[in-house]
Structures are given as structure tokens and as C-alpha cells.
């Protein structure tokens, strides 16, 4: 796990890099040169020039907003996830260009197509994630919606928050729009894109490994990996009572009509045991000291009281069905004031009206090894990429355009469904006993199966090359 690779300083020799600084100036010069070069070749304003300006507007907007992403005293963080995502896009583009050349499809059309596919893919991936984790996106303060903070949460993909299935759907829709508009052979082009998408997913999953997301369940296999303390996998293990944290294991427990975070088990000979904590006690709040100020987190309402810092800004959150923020709060207190004891307020009566404080010094927690599902996914996607490339050379698939794409839909959905059985970062969806991705996998596999049957039964022939539209210019 390596979320941040390095930092870009905010300025060079006193000149700002971001905002309306050097980076935007360099971007403007590059786009101007590209537009001039293109205009000198075609002698007119065409769609390619329009794409250059579209890229300029998007990237320039990102550079202008970049100062808001700076970390104090360090600069702009370059995340491993983002680097892998960019590498995945470039690798997929290179593969599509190589395959398109064999079909005599112009590289200019492919570049434009990939722009639409990438934009659609990123938007689709983010929309899928935001929809799935909507309650974690919305922020409230004193029961009032914090619109700016909520919009920032929705747009912030710097630390991950993209769903592969969303990127596939979004990429397909964006590509389809472009192909229809430019009269490209749809099935032929999707056949070219299928292995490229698998190559992109293979590289992108390494980004998930660096980011610490998409982790697997606890395992004792020799190749299990151990993420650092404070990682998403670690907090998941704490939340589900799989490992001790501050000498305690936790579990969700109902009392009346409410759900509480309860002590599941107390570690023998720990400070928590000496302090008098016992199983089945219900937590009311966590209080710590930062810079001489007593600051607390009320577990019942999941609200931080008067804390001015970054993520733990004074705000009220909607219930999300997870207690992970509580453990992140403890870790935050431990990081800010490592020598200070943390106060655990425990309900002392059955009506949950009175509380009693227990003071514990946080101690290092054991992080259990988990299945490296990111590596599994990467290897499987690379394997599927090779399989699809081989299938594309067989006569059966060459004379039935779209069949490679149909096989891609079926094979990927099967591998994703199986991998979801050992991933633990998603809960059951709508009481089905399966995750969102498993439910989507069933739909995608069915779509791939029906498309395969249609193509095989209709005995389709290769689409006629529309040379007037796709020949090299």
C-alpha cells in the first residue's frame, strides 16, 4: 500500500505552478501548437481541433482547482491510484491503435473515440460509486445540507472511489455515441476495445493495491498480504470484531429499537481489561485531547463535537450502517496526541441515559493478512486480455463481428462474480445475499450470452469497412 508516491511543490523559483500559473501556461502553449499543426494539415476547423480545445478546458479547470487539493506544507500529492489509472488509459489506447490499424481504422478516429470512452468511463465509474455510497457522500451540519462539501465529496476521486463496472458501462455509452455519430462499425470497434479494456483493468487494479481498497477477506494462505495499521482493510477487521483495537474487539449490537457499537471481547492482560471494560458494554462516545482541547465523537449520532480539522470537521453525518469513522477518529486522536489517554464513554444503565468514562492509552493493533484480491483481479484481467486477442484471430470470431465483445462480457462477469466471494469491502445488496457487483455480473453475463446467441444464430458477416469514414487521412 502506497497511496502517495510524491508531492509536486506549489511553486518553482517563486512562480506558482498551479492555478493560473506555469502549468496552465505550458498547457496553453502545447494546445496552441497542436491546433496550429492540425490546421496547417487539414486547412479547416474540424472535430479534431475541437477535441483539443475540449481537453484544454477540462485540464485547465483541474489545474485551476488544484491548489484546493494541496496538503499543507507539502504541495499536490501524486497518488499511486491516479498514476496507475493514467497508465492504464495510455496502455489501452496503445493496444486499440495497434488493433485498429489491422482493420484500417484511422488513428485520428481512435484518438477521438478513446477520449469519449475515457470521459464516459470515469464519469460512469464515479456515478456508480457515488450511488452505492451515497450516504457517505452527503454532509450535514445542524440538520442542514452542506452543499459545497457534498459536491466536493462527489467530485473528489483523488483517493479512489471508482467502480469498474461503472467505467465499463460509461465507456461503452460514450464510445457508442461517438461511433454512431461518426458512422463507425460498432461491433468491429467494440471487438477491438474489449481486450484493451481488460488491459486497462489489469493495470488499474495495481492502483487499487497501492490505494488499499478492494481488499479481500482474512486468510491464512501463504501469499496473504498485510496492510498497514489504519488502512481500510484494518478498519474493516476492527469493525467486524476480527482483531483487537485498544485492547477491545467490537460488534454491532441492538438495544431496543436502536443499534449500538458494543464491546465484543476484551483482550486479556490489556489496559482495557485493567480499566474494567467488559463484553456487551455499549459505547456512547470517544473523547480525546488535541492541543489541550477535549474533543469528542458521539457514536449514537455519528457527530463530531467542535473539531476544526480536515475530515473531522464539525458536521453531522447520516447513518451509513458502518462504524468505520469511529475507529478512524480513534486513530486520528492517537496520531495527534500519542501520549494522551482516550476516554471511552460507556452507557451505564439499560435506558442508555447515563454514561461512565474509561481511560485507555491506544496500543498498536495487529492487522491480519488478507487475500490480495487486487493482484488476483490484475492477473485475471491480463489473462482475459490475452484470451480475447487470441479469439480475435480465429475464423469463427473474425466472421462474426461482436462475438469477441460478447465473450468479454461473459468472461469478465464470471471472474468478477467469483472474486466478490472473497472480497469483504462490499455488503449484501437489497437483501439478495450478494454484493452490488455480483448482481450486476448476473445481468452482464445474461447480456453477453444473449448477444452471443444472436450473433451465432444470425450467422453474421463482417461489417463492411466504411472507408470513406475510417480510412487513414
- The three-state DSSP-derived secondary structure of 112-127 is HHHHHHHHHHHHHHHH
What pLDDT shows up at residue 301? 58
214 and 257 in a single domain? The answer is no
The better pLDDT of the pair 168, 374 is held by 374
Over residues 90-112, mean pLDDT: 85
What pLDDT shows up at residue 41? 80
Secondary structure of residue 293 in the 3-state scheme: strand
Residue 321 has pLDDT above 50, yes or no: no
What pLDDT shows up at residue 131? 76
Over residues 421-426, mean pLDDT: 82
247 and 355 in a single domain? The answer is yes
Q: What is the DSSP letter of 251?
A: E
What pLDDT shows up at residue 147? 73
Instruction: Indicate the burial class of 24 (C-beta count within 10 angstroms; 0-12, 13-18, 19 or more).
Output: buried
Question: Residue with C-alpha cell 492504464?
Answer: 88
What pLDDT shows up at residue 246? 87
Secondary structure of residue 278 in the 3-state scheme: coil
Average pLDDT over the chain reads: 81
The pLDDT confidence band at residue 320, using thresholds 50, 70 and 90, is very low
283 and 397 in a single domain? The answer is no
Q: In the chain, what percentage of residues exceed pLDDT 90?
A: 19
Q: Show the cell assigned to 426.
A: 462490499
What pLDDT shows up at residue 442? 93
Q: In the chain, what percentage of residues exceed pLDDT 70?
A: 86
The pLDDT confidence band at residue 471, using thresholds 50, 70 and 90, is very low
Q: Show the cell assigned to 378.
A: 490484475
Residue 464 has pLDDT above 80, yes or no: no
Gap between the Cα atoms of 170 and 67, Å rounded:
29
Residue at 471 is within a domain: no
User: C-alpha angle with apex 383: 377 to 385, nearest 5 degrees?
Assistant: 100
What pLDDT shows up at residue 447? 92
**Helix orientation angle between 186-211 and 80-102, rounded to the nearest 10 degrees:** 160
What pLDDT shows up at residue 300? 61
127 and 168 in a single domain? The answer is yes
Q: What is the DSSP letter of 400?
A: S
56 and 100 in a single domain? The answer is no
Residue at 391 is within a domain: yes
Residue 389 has pLDDT above 60, yes or no: yes
128 and 241 in a single domain? The answer is no
Question: Residue with C-alpha cell 483493468?
Answer: 201
Structurally, the chain folds into a number of domains equal to 3
271 and 356 in a single domain? The answer is yes
Residue at 418 is within a domain: no
What's the longest Cα–Cα distance across the chain?
A: 82
Per-residue model confidence as pLDDT tens digits over 140-173 = 665 676 677 777 667 666 555 677 777 888 888 8
In sequence order, the β-bridge partners of residue 285 are: 298, 345
CATH for 342: 2.30.42
Instruction: Return the H-helix or E-strand segment holding 178.
Output: helix 164-181
194 and 276 in a single domain? The answer is no
236 and 353 in a single domain? The answer is yes
φ/ψ of 219, rounded to 5, equals: -145, 160
Residue at 468 is within a domain: no
Centroid of chain to Cα 85: 10
Per-residue model confidence as pLDDT tens digits over 172-210 = 888 888 888 888 888 888 899 899 999 999 999 998 899
Gap between the Cα atoms of 354 and 345, Å rounded:
10
What pLDDT shows up at residue 376? 95
80 to each of 66, 154, 155, 196, how far by Cα in Å? 17, 20, 18, 21
Pairing verdict, β 293-298 and 283-290: antiparallel
86 and 214 in a single domain? The answer is yes
Gap between the Cα atoms of 285 and 297, Å rounded:
5
φ/ψ of 169, rounded to 5, equals: -65, -45
Give the structural domain span for 324.
232-360
Question: Residue with C-alpha cell 484511422?
Answer: 106
181 and 84 in a single domain? The answer is yes
Residue at 225 is within a domain: no
Amino acid at each position: 500500500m502506497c497511496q502517495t508516491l510524491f508531492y509536486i511543490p506549489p511553486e518553482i523559483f517563486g512562480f506558482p505552478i498551479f492555478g493560473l500559473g506555469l502549468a496552465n501556461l505550458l498547457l496553453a502553449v502545447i494546445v496552441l501548437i497542436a491546433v496550429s499543426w492540425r490546421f496547417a494539415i487539414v486547412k479547416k476547423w474540424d472535430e479534431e481541433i475541437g477535441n483539443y480545445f475540449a481537453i484544454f478546458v477540462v485540464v485547465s479547470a483541474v489545474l485551476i482547482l488544484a491548489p484546493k487539493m494541496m496538503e499543507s506544507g507539502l504541495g499536490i500529492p501524486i497518488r499511486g491510484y491516479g498514476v496507475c489509472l493514467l497508465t492504464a488509459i495510455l496502455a489501452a489506447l496503445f493496444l486499440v491503435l495497434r488493433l485498429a490499424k489491422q482493420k484500417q481504422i484511422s488513428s485520428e478516429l481512435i484518438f477521438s473515440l478513446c477520449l469519449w470512452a475515457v470521459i464516459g468511463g470515469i464519469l460512469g465509474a464515479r456515478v456508480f460509486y457515488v450511488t452505492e455510497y451515497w450516504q457517505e457522500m452527503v454532509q450535514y451540519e445542524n440538520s442542514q445540507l452542506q452543499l459545497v462539501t457534498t459536491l466536493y465529496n462527489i467530485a473528489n476521486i483523488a483517493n479512489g472511489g471508482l467502480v469498474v463496472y461503472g467505467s465499463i458501462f460509461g465507456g461503452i455509452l460514450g464510445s457508442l455515441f461517438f461511433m454512431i455519430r461518426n458512422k463507425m462499425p460498432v461491433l468491429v470497434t467494440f471487438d477491438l476495445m474489449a481486450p484493451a479494456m481488460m488491459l486497462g483493468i489489469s493495470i488499474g487494479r495495481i492502483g487499487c493495491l497501492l490505494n488499499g481498497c478492494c481488499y479481500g477477506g482474512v486468510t491464512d494462505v501463504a501469499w496473504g498480504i498485510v496492510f498497514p495499521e489504519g488502512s481500510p482493510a484494518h478498519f474493516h477487521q476492527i469493525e467486524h470484531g476480527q482483531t483487537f483495537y485498544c485492547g477491545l474487539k467490537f460488534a454491532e449490537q441492538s438495544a431496543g429499537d436502536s443499534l449500538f457499537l458494543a464491546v465484543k471481547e476484551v483482550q486479556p492482560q490489556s489496559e482495557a481489561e485493567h480499566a474494567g471494560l467488559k463484553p456487551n458494554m455499549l459505547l456512547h462516545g470517544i473523547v480525546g485531547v488535541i492541543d489541550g482541547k477535549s474533543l469528542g465523537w458521539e457514536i449514537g449520532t455519528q457527530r463530531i463535537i467542535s473539531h476544526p480539522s480536515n475530515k473531522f470537521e464539525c458536521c453531522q453525518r447520516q447513518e451509513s450502517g458502518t462504524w468505520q469513522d469511529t475507529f478512524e477518529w480513534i486513530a486520528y486522536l492517537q496520531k495527534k496526541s500519542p501520549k494522551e489517554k482516550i476516554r471511552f464513554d460507556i452507557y451505564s444503565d439499560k435506558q442508555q441515559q447515563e454514561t461512565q468514562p474509561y481511560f485507555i492509552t491506544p496500543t498498536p493493533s495487529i492487522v491480519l493478512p488478507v487475500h490480495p484480491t487486487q493482484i488476483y483481479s490484475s492477473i485475471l484481467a491480463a489473462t482475459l486480455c490475452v484470451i480475447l486477442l487470441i479469439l480475435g484471430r480465429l475464423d469463427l470470431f473474425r466472421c462474426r463481428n461482436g462475438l469477441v465483445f460478447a465473450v468479454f462480457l461473459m468472461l469478465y462477469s464470471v471472474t468478477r462474480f467469483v472474486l466478490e466471494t472473497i472480497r469483504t469491502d462490499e455488503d449484501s445488496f437489497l437483501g439478495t445475499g450478494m454484493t452490488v457487483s455480483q448482481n450486476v455480473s448476473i445481468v452482464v453475463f445474461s447480456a453477453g450470452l444473449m448477444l452471443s446467441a444472436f450473433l451465432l444464430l444470425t450467422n453474421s458477416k463482417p461489417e463492411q469497412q466504411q472507408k470513406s469514414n475510417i480510412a487513414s487521412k
